[in-house]
Structure formats: C-alpha cells, structure tokens
Structure 1
Amino acid sequence: MATTDIPTLTLNNGVTMPAIGYGVFQTPPEQTIASVETALAAGYRHVDTAAAYGNEREVGRALRASGVDRADVFVETKVWVSDYGYDATLHAFDKATGKLGLDTLDLLILHQPAPDRFDATVDAYRALERLLADGGVRAIGVSNFMPHHLDDLLARTDVVPAVNQVELHPYFQQRAVQEADARHGVLTQAWSPIGGITFYPGWGGDDRRSTLDDPAIAAIAVAHDRSAAQVMLRWHLQQGRSAIPKSVTPSRIAENLAVGDFVLSDDELAAIDALETGVRGGPDPDVPRPDFFAREIPEA
C-alpha cells in the first residue's frame, strides 16, 4: 500500500500530516513493537500514542527497527493530566522524547481538558507553546476539548491548537465540536473512528450497538466490496477529518489503510451522517475525574 493513496492534511501552522494514523490505545507494550512495525511495513506514516498508554518506549523501538526514515514518520503523543502545569508539562516532554528515543515530536497534545483544574490545563498548554517556539515540537494541540473548553483556552493563550482529537464515529459525531474546530481553524481528529468503543470488550452496556454490525454501513460496504471499517474511514477522509484506527491484526492493519481508491457518494455520506445517536462512549470531558490525576506517568 503506497502512502500516497492516503491524503495529507495541512495543519494551521503549515505542517503536513497523513490523514490516517496508526493508533496504539490499549495495545499492551509486549504487542506494540510488532504491531507498529507491521503498520509501518503496510505503509502507515503516522503513529499516535500517549503517555497514558504506557507504550511510548515500544513505539520508539518499532520506529528504529522498521528501517523507515524518522523524517518520513509523523509521531504524535499526548501529555497526561497528572503532568499538567507549566514546568511539569515541560518535563513530560522530556519523559516522552526519552521513551520514544526522539529529539523532536511532530505533534504533542493535551490528553484531557481537566475541567476542575483548568488553570493547570492552560499552564500545560502554555508549556506546549514554549516547546513549539523552541523547536521541540512541530505542532501542538488538544484532545477531548468541547467548544467551551476551546474558547476558554484560546482566550488565555496565543497559539491556536492545530488538532483536537475527540471520540468521533457514525454513532457519535460531535457536530458542535467539529463546527467549533472549523471556526477556529483546528483540525478535528477522530479517536475510535470506526466506533471501536461500541464493541471494545469491557466498554458499554449489554444493549450497546456495534457500528461494525450496522445495516446501513453494511449495505454501503457491499456496494463497494469493502469492509464496514473501510467505509467508516472513507467517510472521515471525505469529510476532511484525520482518523486514528487501531488494530493488532495484520490483515486489518493493512485493510484500514486501503481506503484511498474508492469514493462514497453524497447519498452514502448522508446515510452515515444519519446514524448519529448522540450517545458518548468514552468519558465525559465536563465531568471532573480525580482518578485521572492519581495516575502518575513514570520517568522511564
């Protein structure tokens, strides 16, 4: 799979980024090296990890073992809330680059808005601005920010985030977030882009619906001789979003990247849009989570 089959998106500071990235959320460290190497061999040139995933070190090892030039891979990671605050976030960068074995990061984002400690969130973002000015990172952003979080942040900082990574799939489309991001020139990036949170083991209730089993998506998949996952990823691409699918199965890793050579019609896009349920699968960014701050990110 040639990387040129996947579009490149230009962030608001001119940095370019492959629209589809390979995600390693919930991938155990012992599986991460092989999975990332498989993804890079399949043609991925964008890898998304996070301090809280506990596998930054293994992502770095995979990058070095892959033989792919560092300059050709867009590396994105996230600062966890327990490292918020100006000095603590600067140190979080040191921890991340040390584990990844990199001097610079392509994109560094804040993992949560921490609504009950938003001053610390703002201070953390100001540290990202410093890292951007000093050349330690090429772009900065946020994750799970609702429109009011973004407005508050913008009122107290100088650099508009390049990216806002949020839960976004056919059953939960966050249209108000997408509109706010677009208004400010922020790229919306989807985590759980194929609705993984609707079928992850241990997530949701017994009555949950899986996007992979949705009849409307299945019908579109049959029409294009594609999988449901490929249809959902194509939906993201045609609507201008970045998407971070995750799999540890080699065939699915490759399949998720093979979405550059078919096009959904306007009617098909509208049919997927119509699947919105308004039901969030992940944590509510407006609900304080003291337990998040109890999790410390190790030094090495």
Structure 2
Amino acid sequence: MAVSSTSRLLNGGARMPLLGLGTWKSEPGVVGKAVSVAIDSGYRHIDGAYSYMNEAEVGAAVKKKIAEGVVTRENLFIVSKLWCTFHALEDVKPSLMKSLSALQLTYLDLYLIHFPVGFQKVPGELFPVQEGKVLVTDIDYVDTWRAMEGLVDEGLVKSIGVSNFNISQLKRLLSIARITPAVNQVELHPYLTQPELVEFCASKDIALTAFSPLGSPGRALLNDSADPKDLLKDPVVKTIAEKHKKSPAQVLLRFHVQRNIATIPKSVTPARIQENAEIFDFELMDEDLQSLLALNRNWRVCQLTLLQDHQFYPFKDP
C-alpha cells in the first residue's frame, strides 16, 4: 500500500508533487513569505485560485525565488482555479489570463474548475447574493469543460481538472471529454475518507488532491454542525504520531501521500510549513492506515449548503 515516490504521474504525462502548499485564506502580506519559505523547504507544488485574491503576491514570491536561482519555472507545479462567476464559455480564457497576469506566468501546470455550480457575474462579487440566496446560473459544467480543453490546445495550461466533483458528475464529464480530467481536488481526511470516490478516480486514472487534510481547524464556520471536530487531537491520530515520533499533522499528511493522493496543507507559519514537508522519511504501517480509515464519519467541513438546491450541487453522492 506504500508509495515511495514524492510525485504522481498524471494521465497527460505531467508529474504532480504529492505535497503542495495551500494558499486559501493566506492573506496578502503573509502569503508571499509562506510561498518563499515553502520553496526554500523543498515544496515544488503551489496551489492557488482566482477566488483566493492573493495570486499577485504568490506570483511575486515565485518570481523572486526563480530569480534567486533557488528553483526554475520548469521545476514548479503551479495550480489555479476557474471561479464560479466565469463558467460561461466566453469568460473561461479571460479568467485564466487574469490569473496568469497576476502570477506573472505564461502557463499553468494545472487549471481546475473550482466548483461545478456557476454564479452570475456581479462586479466585485465572488459570491453574488440577493435576499439571502446566491445568484446562480444554469451553465452546464460540461460546456465549461470544452472551453477548458481549448486552453490546453493553446498551450496556456499543461493539464486541466476539476474540484469538488462527485462520482456522477465525473461520469457525465468523462462521457463527453476529449481530454480526461487529470485531477479532482476534494476534501479528504480521516473523518471524510470518501472511499467510493477514491476508488472511482483510481479506476479512471484521475489523480486526487486532498484539501483540508488536517480537518481544517478553525474552519468549522463552513460546517453547519454545532459539534466541530478537531482531527489533530483525535486519540488514534495522536497514538500513531507518538509511535512514529512525528506530529499529528505529519501523520495526517503521510496518510494521503502514502496512498498516492496529493495534499495541500495551508500554513503561513514557517515552522509548520517546514514540519509539513518532513513526511517522506517515515512510513505508516498497514495497521496505521486501517486505523485512520476507520475514523471515517462522513464529516464534511466544506458543505456550501446555500447551494444545495442547485442541480449541480456536488455533495449528494451516497
């Protein structure tokens, strides 16, 4: 069950490092330093998105590290995502160009449809809301995908994929896709193991990237549950960490990469960024992996229940 490599071969031939730096909620003024520390610590995978509103600072940090000779562009794997307000075919390429301009890049290694539900375009609004409801569209993600394929044809992105897609949505996309999605980025951790989705993606050679791999401590406001879980303090996780003389966070990250699943922990704390990189010098035993998988309780941090009535709301798979 162990995987020795530090990267995953994607179905299009590119290699994606299994450990990346997540930049969601990393604010301007701190995200640049986080990216710099990460690159100095050996990270070569930087995960971002238009909607994070910090791509300019991420790009400046990347450019500086390239100029310093710490890394080359070819050694980096840079990810961004198409936001929900840009699902219309005529908006896909202009949105990508905005991200490329902010990042000061000529291409992306991976570009994802951030969420299957499209939003109406309202100037200055990421989540356009009226009378307590998100202003959505009925734009079909299948049509959006065709525009994404065009970006590959133009050499603007190396690989394309999706985020927050369920099995039925992936099946529908695969039925029309000229270019198979390379990646599906979804919430994964021992409290939400999604075994059917993991198995399906493996069967179709779609790589998985796990967001919220530590259970997103401090992110419970996105969950309607009044009982937020702290995965880092789970007794099973702590016991395994003590056995391997590692931190709970390192165990949770190793849980993914050892199963060939990429993971993108977010941090702006230099010591934690460096600690999170130290996961390739130990191996979880099969009994450890089974104990972590047994923690599953289908507890999802990111639910976005405001969108649950939309036909493309993804969190409906059994």
TM-score strictly above 0.5: yes
Matched positions, count: 286
Higher helix share: 1
Structure 2 Cα separation of the partners of residues 111 and 287 of structure 1: 16
Conserved 8 A contact 1:235-1:264: yes
Equivalent position SS for 1:139: strand
1:268 aligned residue: 288
CA RMSD of aligned residues (A): 2.0
- Give 1:208 deviation, angstroms: 1.6
- Taking the TM superposition and a 5 Å limit, the aligned residue runs for 1:14-163 are 14-66=13-65, 67=68, 68-114=71-117, 117=137, 119-163=139-183
- Give 1:199 deviation, angstroms: 3.7
Structure 2 Cα separation of the partners of residues 51 and 19 of structure 1: 22
Equivalent position SS for 1:226: coil
Structure 2 Cα separation of the partners of residues 206 and 225 of structure 1: 33
Structure 2 Cα separation of the partners of residues 282 and 203 of structure 1: 6
Structure 2 Cα separation of the partners of residues 60 and 104 of structure 1: 12
Unaligned residue ranges in structure 2 (runs of 5+)? 119-135, 314-318
Equivalent position SS for 1:156: coil
Structure 2 Cα separation of the partners of residues 83 and 237 of structure 1: 32
* One-letter code aligned to 1:42: S
**Seq. identity, %:** 37
Can you list the C-alpha shifts for 1:68-98, whole angstroms capped at 9, x where unaligned? Answer: 2211111001000101121100111111101
Structure 2 Cα separation of the partners of residues 203 and 13 of structure 1: 34
- Give 1:237 deviation, angstroms: 1.1
Sort the Cα spacing of 1:195 and 1:13 in 2 relative to 1 into closer, same or farther, 3 A: same
1:175 aligned residue: 195
Conserved 8 A contact 1:114-1:288: no
- Taking the TM superposition and a 5 Å limit, the aligned residue runs for 1:195-210 are 195-196=215-216, 198-200=217-219, 202-204=221-223, 205-210=225-230
Structure 1 Cα separation of the partners of residues 292 and 137 of structure 2: 37
Conserved 8 A contact 1:47-1:76: yes
Conserved 8 A contact 1:191-1:244: yes
* One-letter code aligned to 1:97: L
Task: Work out which of the residue numbers 283, 287, 290 in structure 1 matches 2:308.
Answer: 287
Equivalent position SS for 2:283: coil
Structure 1 Cα separation of the partners of residues 303 and 63 of structure 2: 34
- Give 1:251 deviation, angstroms: 0.5
Conserved 8 A contact 2:10-2:16: yes
Conserved 8 A contact 1:48-1:75: yes
Can you list the C-alpha shifts for 1:84-124, whole angstroms capped at 9, x where unaligned? Answer: 12110011111110111100100000000118756442222
Can you list the C-alpha shifts for 1:268-295, whole angstroms capped at 9, x where unaligned? Answer: 10000000011211025872579x9xxx
Equivalent position SS for 2:30: helix
1:298 aligned residue: none
* One-letter code aligned to 1:11: L
Equivalent position SS for 2:209: strand
Query: Normalising to structure 2: TM-score of the pair?
Result: 0.85
Query: Normalising to structure 1: TM-score of the pair?
Result: 0.90
